[in-house]
Every structure is written in C-alpha cells, then in structure tokens.
C-alpha cells in the first residue's frame, strides 16, 4: 500500500503528515483525537540523517505535546550500509532514536507501530520495535535477511534453510513468523482507521513479546528463561 493511500485510510478525518526525504512527520485525526505520526517510506535505508530527523520529531512531540499517542509507520530496508555512516557512528544515532522513543514511553506517550511495507533489522530495531505494540498489514514484509544471503553468510545450504523454514518460524522471513514469535501483535485488516482507534488508549506497561511468543508456541524458551533469571 502506498503511503498516501495508507494515510487516508488511517485518517479519514484528515492528517497533516508530510514526506520530506522519505521521512514522515505530522499529525493525524482520529475519533479518539489527534495522534502524532512518525515514520519512513520508500523502503528507506536508514542512515545517520534519517535517524537524527526521526529523533528530532520524537523530541518535538515529547516537548510540545505531552502524553499524545505516537504512531510509528514502518517501511525500511534496514540500516544504510556505508563506510561514512559507520565512520560517524550510525549505531549511536540509532540508539539515540531508540532512547528518545523510550523517553516518550516514560512520559506516558503510547507508542503504536504499524509495519505497512518492509521492516528489516537495524532500521526496524531502533524505531518500530520500540513501540508498546507492533502491528502489521497483511502484505508487509518483515525479515532480518533473505534466505539466500543467510545461506551465504552461515555457509549452510539454501535447500536446508528452505526446508527448515517450513517448520520453524525462527529464521524465515514473514509476518506470520514474527506473530508466532510474539514480535508482532496482530495483522490489521480493513478498515484501518477502526483498527487504530481500537488500540489507542490501551496502555501496556510491560514488554509483552516474550509472553506472546510463549503463548503462541513460536518462542518457547525466552519467556521462561528470562523469568528464571529475573527471579534469581
């Protein structure tokens, strides 16, 4: 779904979201009131400028609109792969973005994420995955890496990975797999505006993902292991 269609379906009551260099910022109107919007489009490869721009917007919402819910719209092919980004410390820029979003959570902003196109590793990790809850459109593509690249790096035969991806949700790309693991809460079906309104105001205190992965049987160990460590 392209970004214009998405925004009009999410906000039939109107929005002021702008797209500058594939960075989305602005506000949308719902029948539960205004919601701040931050996001990327065009499968953006997130580099230092983009991470900084998103952080600027996040800090702006924290300062100017205390407590307003924030919708994170995800479409990224991951971090930008370049020497210059590494030279400047891109991981620090992405961490900064994650910290700004965490501060928003601490200051009672609800963080809702919608993966509407692509969500890949680094760009997703420091942005959409910081949300209280993560949703996705049915056609969205979520992955760490595609299978051929994975086969190359792990030096495992592609056929073996393909075979195993049919039974294990653990490494094959796909929204369904992330749902089984608890990494994504739900798939949003039309009408999107209703889906959004349903979740606004449902404030969650804890990271639910381990528990969801356990209940959905996709990630059986993470929850119990973490609980045991925590309990001491």
Partner 1 sequence: MSDLSGISRGHSYYEANARQRIAHLLDPGSFQEVLGPAERLTSPHLEPLGQPCSFDDGIIIGTGSLNGLQVLVASQEGGFMGGAVGEVHGAKLTGLLERAVNERPAAVLLLLESGGVRLHEANAGLIAISEVIRALLATRVAGVPVLGLIGGAYGCFGGMGIVARCCDALIINEEGRLGLSGPDVIETTMGVEEFDSSDRALVWRTLGGKHRYLLGEVQCLVEDDIDAFHTAVIKTINTVQPLSLESLEQEHSSLTRRLADYGQCQDGADIWGEMGIDDPQKLPLMDIQSFMVTVADKGQGKL
Q: Does 125 bind partner 1 (CB under 8 A)?
A: yes
**Cα–Cα nearest to 39, from 93, 75, 91, 2:** 75
Per CB under 8 A, contacts with partner 1 among 13-52 are 48-49, 52
Least distance from partner 1 to the Cβ atom of residue 226, Å? 4
As a whole number of angstroms, the distance between CA 132 and CA 30 comes to 19
Per CB under 8 A, contacts with partner 1 among 191-220 are 207, 209-210, 213, 219-220
Beta carbon nearer to partner 1, 195 or 219: 219
- Which 3 state secondary structure label does DSSP give 150? helix
The contact pattern for partner 1, residues 47-86, with x = CB under 8 A and - = no contact, is -xx--x--xx--x--xx---------------x-xxxxxx
Q: Does 154 bind partner 1 (CB under 8 A)?
A: yes
Q: Does 230 bind partner 1 (CB under 8 A)?
A: yes
Per CB under 8 A, contacts with partner 1 among 85-114 are 85-96, 98-100, 102-103, 106-107
DSSP 16-82: --EEETTEEEEEEEETTEEEEEEEE-TTEEE-HHHHHHHHHHHHHHHHHSTT--EEEEEEEEEE---
């Amino acid at each position: 779904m392209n970004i214009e269609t998405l925004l009009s379906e999410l906000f039939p009551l109107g929005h002021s979201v702008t797209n500058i260099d594939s960075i989305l910022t602005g506000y949308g109107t719902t029948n539960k009131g205004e919601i701040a919007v931050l996001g990327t489009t065009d499968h953006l490869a997130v580099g230092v400028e983009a991470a900084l721009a998103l952080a600027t917007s996040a800090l702006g919402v924290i300062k100017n609109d205390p407590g307003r819910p924030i919708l994170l719209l995800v479409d990224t092919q991951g971090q930008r792969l370049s020497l210059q980004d590494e030279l400047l410390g891109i991981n620090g820029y992405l961490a900064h973005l994650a910290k700004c979003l965490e501060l928003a959570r601490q200051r009672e902003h609800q963080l809702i994420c919608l993966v509407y196109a692509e969500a890949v590793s680094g760009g997703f990790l420091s942005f959409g995955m910081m949300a209280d809850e993560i949703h996705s459109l049915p056609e969205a593509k979520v992955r760490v890496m595609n299978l051929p690249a994975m086969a190359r790096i792990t030096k495992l035969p592609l056929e073996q990975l393909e075979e195993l991806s049919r039974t294990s949700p653990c490494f094959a790309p796909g929204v369904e797999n992330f749902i089984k693991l608890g990494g994504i809460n739900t798939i949003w079906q039309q009408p999107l505006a209703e889906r959004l309104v349903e979740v606004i105001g449902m404030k969650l205190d804890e990271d639910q993902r381990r528990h969801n992965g356990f209940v959905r049987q996709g990630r059986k160990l993470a929850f119990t292991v973490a609980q045991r460590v925590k309990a001491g």
